[in-house]
Amino acid sequence: MATIDISPSKIHILAFPFPAKGHINPMLHLCKRLSAKDFRCIPDDSDEPVEEDLKGFLARLRAAASRGLEELVEKCRKTDPYPPRIVIYDSTMPWILNLAHRVGLHGASFFTQSCAVCALYYHMDQGTIQLPLDKSVTVKLPSMPALESNDLPDLQYFPDPDNVITRTLLDQFSNIDKVDFILFNTFEELEDESPNAVPIGNPLIPYLLLFFQRNVTNAEACLKWLDERETCSVVYVSFGSIAAPGEDQIEEVAEALLRSNCKFLWVVREEEESKLPKNFKSESSEQGLIINWCPQLEVLAHWAIACFVTHCGWNSTIEALSAGVPMIAAPQWVDQTTNAKFIADVWQTGLRVKLNDKGFVGREEFEYCIRDITGGEREKEIRRNAKKWKELAIQAVGEGGSSDRNLEDFATSLLCLP
């Protein structure tokens, strides 16, 4: 948990992310954006989460947060002349809103998925989209493209409505009618119509593109390696911090990279390295670099990157869009399939791989996409679109841009809280 204090007005805010990288990072970026508006960030000490089954962890998190929030607010009211007035919390923890209201605080729900995906989850929760879906069904929502079954979040195939992942995602809307503010990690120009598919009233909805300011550093070995490559010559591959493709899939990616003859930078988490083909590292040492982690924002902003083979997590998607990097969309689960649909068919900034009859992506398909996006007939069109979205993203977060205005409106609203 982190606390923020607006120096001029002395308004105290609590920020409560879900304890996973894909959720913590957007909340931290939000805090940084608020700091740029003359907010002062004060980190709170918190314990590292204990690894256990997800259901048990969520129960423990809820119990600990319930006690901790009440104790923190009570302590602040006794010792701080400007006690907290609002909690900004991750939308996957809607029960925090109930806690906040119980102790007299306002609540802002922060959605770290795209507006389009939130619209789908909302209609699944409301029953407008019935689960599980027939694979032949096409979903049509207001202001959104028609979506086939393989374009929808793959929780549609979970037959148990009480599945912990399904419930966590759909329960984001369990008390949405009571929330004081709703925040999305996106920007107006990118998803100007998607909110129309979520009839949840009219709370303030700032679009917050949590854009990065590149912190240029050559301290990382991968950046030094990239510095020695030609412009738009390197294929960057990363499947995120959670997704775990099978050994067969990893082998297909490896073979496709070798066959493409392109330079590559591949992030393979330490626990996933055993899935790499035997001798692949030594065989590819002249062609590519395999590392366990990289500063992704800096990598995507590097001139040497030609394209991004991505699992299509929302953070990676919006970072690539903001950096103007074409994508090869290889979604794994939940919202990633919908993000891949928008990358390929709506924003048209990349290609989406096709599964073979064995349920994974073959080396030929990966190689075809790499060649097409780095020199094929679609390259110019995709790069032109990627450049357009990069420019729109920069405008959105620039002074007077849509995200900057919305963030300013949000900050102004905080000043008026009772």
- Measured from the Cβ of residue 210, the count of other Cβ atoms closer than 10 Å reads 24
Residues 359 and 240 placed together within one structural domain of the fold: yes
Residues 21 and 158 placed together within one structural domain of the fold: yes
DSSP 295: -
The CATH number for 281's domain is 3.40.50.2000
Q: Identify the band that residue 50 occupies on the pLDDT scale cut at 50, 70 and 90.
A: very low
Residue 305 has pLDDT above 90, yes or no: yes
Residues 19 and 80 placed together within one structural domain of the fold: yes
Residues 70 and 147 placed together within one structural domain of the fold: yes
The pair of three-digit structure tokens given for residue 406, joined into one six-digit string: 């919305």
Residues 197 and 238 placed together within one structural domain of the fold: no
Q: ∠ CA 191-196-201 to the nearest 5 degrees?
A: 125
Residues 183 and 229 placed together within one structural domain of the fold: no
Residues 94 and 199 placed together within one structural domain of the fold: yes
Are the C-beta atoms of residues 255 and 363 closer than 8 Å to each other? Answer: yes
More confident residue, 243 or 337: 337
How many structural domains are present in the chain?
A: 2
Residues 91 and 161 placed together within one structural domain of the fold: yes
Which domain, by its residues, includes 117?
2-212+399-415
Residues 231 and 311 placed together within one structural domain of the fold: yes
The pair of three-digit structure tokens given for residue 305, joined into one six-digit string: 């990157």
User: Residue 356 and residue 23: Cα distance in Å, rounded?
Assistant: 32
Q: Identify the band that residue 241 occupies on the pLDDT scale cut at 50, 70 and 90.
A: confident
User: Residue 330 and residue 321: Cα distance in Å, rounded?
Assistant: 16
pLDDT confidence of residue 154: 79
Residues 142 and 254 placed together within one structural domain of the fold: no
Residues 185 and 331 placed together within one structural domain of the fold: no
Q: In 3-state terms, what secondary structure has residue 204?
A: strand
Average pLDDT over residues 170-176: 93
DSSP 230: P
Q: Tell me: the pLDDT tens digits for 386-416?
A: 999 999 999 998 889 888 888 888 888 887 8
Q: Tell me: the pLDDT tens digits for 351-377?
A: 999 999 988 999 999 999 999 999 988
Q: Identify the band that residue 311 occupies on the pLDDT scale cut at 50, 70 and 90.
A: very high
More confident residue, 224 or 34: 224
